[in-house]
Structure 1
Amino acid sequence: MKRVMIYAYTQFNLGDDLFIKVLCERYPNTNFVLYAPSRYKITFKEINNITFYPSDSIINRGVNYLFRKLGLNEVIRRILVRRCNAVVQIGGSLFIQGENWKGILEHTEAMKPKDKPFYLLGTNFGPYSNSDFYESYKEIFRNYTDICFRDQYSYNLFKDLNNTRLADDVIFQLKTQQIRKQENNIIISVIKPSIREHLSQYDEIYYNKIKDIAIYFIEKGYYVTLMSFCELEGDKEAVENIVDLIPSEFSVRVKKHYYTTNIEDTLNLIAQSSFIVATRFHSMILGWVFNKPVFPIIYSEKMTNVMKDVGFKGLFTDFKNINSVKPEQVFECIQMNLLDVSKQVKRAEGHFEKLDKYLYEIE
């Protein structure tokens, strides 16, 4: 059995955790190594081919602190990589230009071992505003074994490199079970806008609009589940703020769901729902995967780019226009916003084309 190191965003974000789930379930005869908080053993308790190294153990925290002081970050992870045959970095918005982008660039450059294959899967690129940012990453990408982007825009930026490819989002490859019972319940995935600089002024507007949409659906006989995908990024706080705005006579029909380590419970809620109001990118994707009508609320161009790629023609909004959206328009999307993604499900398998070849050749 070969060993493959996983680089991923391990902060209990549902979308990123699903990337790991899909990857490991595809290759049951490969041993994956994950350096992550110890609670990830609960998240992936049903997956037998992951070896966990807890990043939050007392020893590891002490060693990392010491090496940070010495300027040698990520030493434990690099030691683990040496014992692996290859590295897979899997994630979505990994390359966003921020204030400290040069420091992050150095970290990214150091991630690739010199003597092992390195696969970058499922990602998009940007947004960015500096050509140096783009050119710097392009130089790093030249040395990767394989890169598969999830949207046409990102692929077009690097298509002149001979190691880049394009496939639909990895989560279209999620294995789904047939859910017989559909509840009279809608899912509203929410975010805290102000943790993103370009949405810093939108908390009150957004929370009130979600409150209005929830009340309208309740008046139409539905239950509403406000769903947090990532507590660290403020989703749970957003849920609580919205619930506080809902009058008591409606609150009995409002449920709260916080994703932490409970992947299957969260997926089942989505699968059994009637409709998705999707602010989180992967709530949109999961809605389509489970054949639900989806009303997207766009907080990032990555959503717009994918909607264009899949040919989504339904009603949606972005934050600039959210105040003008009427709840009755959102309600009408139950009948209008279905999307057949059978082609995307098939094309998403393309992410693993090169990794398939590598693992099956050496196993």
Structure 2
Amino acid sequence: MKKMMISAYTEFNLGDDLFIKVLCERYPDTRFMIIAPRLYKLVFKDIKNLKVYASDSVLFRGINYVFRKLKLHNNFLQRFLGDQSDGTVHIGGSIFMQGEHWAEYVANAEAMRNKSKPYYLMGANFGPFTDDEYYQVHRRIFPEYTDVSFREQYSYDLFKDLGNVRMAPDIIFQLKYNANETSSGQKPPAGQTIAISVIKPSSKNLSGFDNLYYEKMNDVAIYFIKQGYAVHFMSFCQHEGDQEAIGQIIGLIPAEFQEQTHVHLYKTNIDDILAALAGASCIVASRFHAMILGWVFDKPVFPVAYSSKMVNVMQDAYFTGKYTDFAHLAELTPEEVYDSMATNRLDVTLQANQAEKHFEQLDAYLSPAPLMEGRRSYES
């Protein structure tokens, strides 16, 4: 049985946590390891082939502190666990956004990577970035990876001349979900409901839009309530301000409509959010993965695109329905959202099948057929 290290964004973001869930459930005979806050033991309590090493434990932090003080390694345990594994799967979505201190971040990530072991990059998009050097550095790094699999055409086109780069639709198109089989017993909401996934725009580098966005989501919520809907607000990531945004929006809703509003705050209970989305009549998706999950659950979806990655994926999926972005948010009317729900479904059977391609190279390593001549192998 192989042991694989998982590198992922571990800030209790629903989309990223679903990546980990899909990965581990696909390979039940592989032992996975991840370094994450101790609450992740609760998030993934039902995934028996995943071991969570608590990054916030006294022991973990203490050992790393000693090695830093001795100037031996800044992240000793991360490197040690990686060395004990048979390889690493770096899985995530927006994991290549250029930050202010990007050069230091890249250097630290490369210092932790064991270059003698296979390294699989899965499900990402590249950017946004402003410096060509950021792009060029990754052009030099990516050929050292075993496999690079992007989730949209734009990112693929940036690196398609590299021999190990591929593209497939978002990994969450592969999600298998049955509300009747969840361990938490979550039931979908009854009656006509609209699920509204929210963001805090300023946390997405959309400065000056917070109040306008909150007012528009308030207008949509009130309009749907008047049409007989219950409104379910969704926070996918407290760390990124979703919960704060819900508080601001609900604060605008008049008292007589408050009883028709419900709140779902993701922290450790994946099934609660999935049940609410699966049971919704329609979805307003400010979160990227609310859009994807809405399509997976065959719901009418009205995307509120906060970045080019959402628009890129809509184009890749041939979505022709109505949506808005922040450049046109001021023009949005609740009537437009309501009317779009009659037409904004998307059959993603093709995308679900194509998303399998993300796993082609990892399948060959974790569930290999007899070794053919010329096929790359690794000694662990």
TM-score, normalisation: structure 1: 0.97
Per-residue CA distance 1:267-307 (angstroms, 9 max, x = gap): 11100001110000000000000000100001111101100
What is the DSSP-based 3-state SS (H/G/I as helix, E as strand, rest coil) of the residue aligned with 2:208? coil
Distance 2:363 2:49 in 1: 16
Q: How far did 1:45 drift?
A: 1.1
Residue 257 in structure 1 maps to residue 258 in structure 2: no
Distance 1:107 1:137 in 2: 14
Q: How far did 1:314 drift?
A: 0.5
Residues 283/17 of structure 1: CA separation in 2 closer, same or farther (3 Å cut): same
Could you tell me which residue of structure 1 aligns to residue 210 of structure 2?
203
- Find 1:191's aligned residue among 179, 199, 203: 199
Which sections of structure 1, spanning at least 5 residues, go unmatched? Answer: none
Residue 151 in structure 1 maps to residue 152 in structure 2: yes
Residues 216/116 of structure 1: CA separation in 2 closer, same or farther (3 Å cut): same
| Alpha carbons 2:194, 2:282 under 8 Å: kept | yes
The one-letter code of the counterpart of 2:88 is V
Q: How far did 1:114 drift?
A: 1.7
**Percent of pairs with identical residues:** 53
- Find 2:310's aligned residue among 274, 298, 303: 303
Distance 1:293 1:68 in 2: 51
Residues 338/57 of structure 1: CA separation in 2 closer, same or farther (3 Å cut): same
What is the DSSP-based 3-state SS (H/G/I as helix, E as strand, rest coil) of the residue aligned with 2:89? strand
Residues 190/340 of structure 1: CA separation in 2 closer, same or farther (3 Å cut): same
Q: How far did 1:71 drift?
A: 7.7
Distance 2:326 2:309 in 1: 14
The one-letter code of the counterpart of 2:47 is I
Per-residue CA distance 1:199-255 (angstroms, 9 max, x = gap): 111000000000000000000000001110000010000011111110101111001
In angstroms, what is the RMSD of aligned CA positions?
1.6
What is the DSSP-based 3-state SS (H/G/I as helix, E as strand, rest coil) of the residue aligned with 1:335? coil
Could you tell me which residue of structure 2 aligns to residue 274 of structure 1?
281
The one-letter code of the counterpart of 1:51 is K
Per-residue CA distance 1:140-163 (angstroms, 9 max, x = gap): 101000010000110010010000
Which sections of structure 2, spanning at least 5 residues, go unmatched? Answer: 181-186, 371-380
Count of residue pairs brought into register by the alignment: 362
Per-residue CA distance 1:298-324 (angstroms, 9 max, x = gap): 111110110000001011001111111
Distance 2:230 2:288 in 1: 22
Distance 1:159 1:244 in 2: 48
Could you tell me which residue of structure 1 aligns to residue 40 of structure 2?
40
Distance 2:133 2:75 in 1: 25
Residue 237 in structure 1 maps to residue 238 in structure 2: no
- Find 1:320's aligned residue among 318, 327, 331: 327
Distance 2:323 2:47 in 1: 36
Could you tell me which residue of structure 1 aligns to residue 143 of structure 2?
142
Give matches, 1:152-231, under 5 Å. 152-177=153-178, 183-197=191-205, 199-231=206-238
Q: How far did 1:59 drift?
A: 1.6
Residue 345 in structure 1 maps to residue 346 in structure 2: no
The one-letter code of the counterpart of 1:54 is A
Distance 1:121 1:35 in 2: 18
Q: How far did 1:43 drift?
A: 0.6
Q: How far did 1:62 drift?
A: 2.6
What is the DSSP-based 3-state SS (H/G/I as helix, E as strand, rest coil) of the residue aligned with 2:239? coil
Give matches, 1:98-137, under 5 Å. 98-137=99-138
| Alpha carbons 1:183, 1:272 under 8 Å: kept | no
What is the DSSP-based 3-state SS (H/G/I as helix, E as strand, rest coil) of the residue aligned with 2:341? helix
| Alpha carbons 1:224, 1:255 under 8 Å: kept | yes
Distance 1:66 1:16 in 2: 31
Residue 27 in structure 1 maps to residue 30 in structure 2: no
The one-letter code of the counterpart of 2:257 is F
The one-letter code of the counterpart of 1:301 is S
TM-score, normalisation: structure 2: 0.92
Distance 1:58 1:79 in 2: 17
Give matches, 1:45-84, under 5 Å. 45-68=45-68, 70=71, 72-84=73-85
Residues 214/115 of structure 1: CA separation in 2 closer, same or farther (3 Å cut): same
The one-letter code of the counterpart of 1:307 is M
| Alpha carbons 2:82, 2:113 under 8 Å: kept | no
Please, which moves more after superposition, 204-213 or 66-75? 66-75
